[in-house]
Every structure is written in C-alpha cells, then in structure tokens.
Amino acid sequence: MVRYVCRHCHRQIGQFEGAWSDPQLGLQDLTAAEQQEILEVRPPDTTVWVKTLCERCLPVPWMEELWYN
C-alpha cells in the first residue's frame, strides 16, 4: 500500500493498492536521495508514505504523475 500525503498541510491525497516499486508510480525512477527524502515506511505495516504536495499547496506542477494515483 502506498499513501500520498501532503508534506505541507498533511492532507492525505490518495492511495495506491500496490507496492511503491510499481513502475507505474515512477517512484523507482527517483534517485536514492530523493527516495529517502519523500518516501517513509511506517512500521508495523508496510505502508509507504509518499510525502508530496497537494494541488492547493503546490506552487508549480512537479512530478505530475503522482497526483492521480
């Protein structure tokens, strides 16, 4: 399970029933440093939180493919 949360207002943006490494999410294409910055695993489950920005907090489109998952 992957959940997207806004790093600014903490609103949950969306979720994806699958692995964070699913190629359609594009998260694997990030550099290791970027992954460390935006991905967070919260035990005990294996949900990966993706810290991003929602459309209200977003000044410019950035990593557009993430918004609609």
Which residues lie near Zn ion (CB under 5 A)?
6, 8-9, 54, 57
Find, among 38, 45, 49, the residue nearest to 14 by Cα. Answer: 49
10 Å Cβ neighbour count for 2? 22
Q: Which is nearer to Zn ion, 54 or 66 (CB)?
A: 54
Q: How far, in whole angstroms, is CA 22 from its chain's centroid?
A: 12
Q: Which is nearer to Zn ion, 9 or 18 (CB)?
A: 9
Q: Which is nearer to Zn ion, 1 or 9 (CB)?
A: 9
User: Closest approach of Cβ 63 to Zn ion, in Å?
Assistant: 14
